[in-house]
Amino acid sequence: MREENGMELLKERIRKDGKVKEGNVLKVDSFLNHQMDIGLFREIGKEFKRRFAGEEITKILTIEASGIGIACIAGEEFGVPVVFAKKTQTKNIAGEVYTARVESYTHGRVYDIIVSKEFIRKEDKVLLIDDFLANGKALEGLIQIVEEAGAHLAGAGIVIEKGFQPGGEKIRTRGIHLESLAIIESMDESTGEIRFRESAC
Amino acid sequence: MREENGMELLKERIRKDGKVKEGNVLKVDSFLNHQMDIGLFREIGKEFKRRFAGEEITKILTIEASGIGIACIAGEEFGVPVVFAKKTQTKNIAGEVYTARVESYTHGRVYDIIVSKEFIRKEDKVLLIDDFLANGKALEGLIQIVEEAGAHLAGAGIVIEKGFQPGGEKIRTRGIHLESLAIIESMDESTGEIRFRESAC
């Protein structure tokens, strides 16, 4: 059923329940980021474990809100604690937190993400987890925090990458071990058709 | 190790790693709501399953961000999907979402929570899950959404209830099956002492 390098279950679900909307929006809120199918999350967590089997990982870092559920299930697979970066538009107490500025294209706003310095140490080997990768701004913010902490960045695991947007390319070019379980090559809002990068699926 | 009606592991952890701060604030961000101990979440999920063993449950409803991780692990124990209510300060599309207004004492602001109507149906038997119960405003917002959907409210599972604030009393008075795994009777910011409702622990 499942391919060596893919995750057929996830792709089938995206095809079945994902809705292509105006402006390159893929709505997957019936199973991924509003209502959450935890059985699917378990399969996603196991797949991340397989793909990062060669990496030593001591902590998972994600970002609120929609990364949290996936990161928690993955955290159990890896047997490590999970930290989520908080989004804030208020001024932060300098010194106690790492911060990064993130520009959101989807929501047309800029926000800061913060992580308490207590929870990412320089000894940590950090795996980043998030639900979506499009322009890569949120992921770049998380990477900046890991770098600021002086921790080792083990890699980044993404559920759905929009392959036609520049985030994935930017991250891979930096030599970061990025694993996206489903990479969308193109999608058509008039027909609802979704094409994935691996031609076999 | 574990009491019949309590959860000694959780209480020990609160005593060990919880920090009592000015203004009746209990900081548990090293294991519950910023960094998350998924092993502990698994025990919490199992305990909710035991306490609501008599209830038929088809869906778990929580609120972003800190309820999501606990709700996902509990969702796996119950074998049901998890929905999280989103916090928003923007105007919503009427008709497509259930909304409730929530007043936050902690953050001194008012926000709306929204849940897509697709994901809570009148056939659903909903268990509410959240990390904290203090004044009960967030929980009341979730209850309002379940009522608006015409769904059955099976109960509410809370990790930490501040027993000296009025939320728990208000919810119980309404006849709702509320289970709080740790009820704090009092806490002292000068000594850091935390007293739980059950005298045995």
Q: What is the pLDDT of residues B67-80, one digit of tens each?
A: 999 999 999 999 99
Separation in Å, CA of A126 to nearest CA in chain B: 13
Residues of A in contact with B73 (CB under 8 A): 72-73, 76
Beta partners for residue B115, in sequence order: B98
Residues 6 or more apart whose CB falls under 8 angstroms from that of A23 comprise none
Residues of B in contact with A64 (CB under 8 A): 64-65
**Given CB atoms, is B151 within the 8 Å cutoff of chain A?**
no
Lowest mean pLDDT among A111-120, A190-199, B52-61, B153-162: A190-199
Cβ atoms of B81 and B68 closer than 8 Å: no
Percentage of the residues of chain B whose pLDDT score is greater than 70? 92
Which residue did the predictor score with more confidence, A52 or B93? Answer: A52
Looking at residue B2, its pLDDT comes to 46
Looking at residue B201, its pLDDT comes to 37
pLDDT classification of B156: cutoffs 50, 70, 90: very high
**Given CB atoms, is B42 within the 8 Å cutoff of chain A?**
yes
Closest CA to A61 of A177, A134, A132, A155: A155
Residues of A in contact with B115 (CB under 8 A): 34
Say whether pLDDT at B1 is over 60. Answer: no
State how far Cα B82 lies from the chain centre. 13
Which helix H or strand E contains A171, and what residues bound it?
helix A167-173
How many alpha carbons fall within 13 Å on the CB side of residue A129?
Answer: 33
Q: B164-167 long-range CB contacts below 8 Å, 24 or more apart?
A: B164/B24, B165/B24, B165/B134, B165/B135, B165/B136, B166/B135, B166/B136, B167/B133, B167/B134, B167/B135, B167/B136, B167/B137, B167/B139
Average pLDDT of chain B?
93
Tokens for A153?
Answer: 């960045």
Lowest mean pLDDT among A65-69, A117-121, B21-25, B99-103: B21-25
**Given CB atoms, is A8 within the 8 Å cutoff of chain B?**
no
CB-based contact A72 B118, cutoff 8 Å: no
**Given CB atoms, is B84 within the 8 Å cutoff of chain A?**
yes
Q: What is the pLDDT of residues A145-172, one digit of tens each?
A: 999 999 999 999 999 999 999 999 999 9
Average pLDDT over residues A177-193: 97
**Given CB atoms, is A34 within the 8 Å cutoff of chain B?**
yes
Looking at residue B198, its pLDDT comes to 76
Closest in B29, B69, B86 to A68, CB measured: B69
Chain B nearest-CA residue for A31: B81
Separation in Å, CA of A97 to nearest CA in chain B: 12
Q: What is the pLDDT of residues B91-143, one digit of tens each?
A: 656 679 999 999 987 777 899 999 999 999 999 999 999 999 999 999 999 99
A40, A72, A121: best to mutate for the B interface, most B CBs within 10 A = A72
Cis, peptide link before residue B65, omega less than 30° from 0: yes
Say whether pLDDT at B200 is over 80. Answer: no
Looking at residue A104, its pLDDT comes to 85
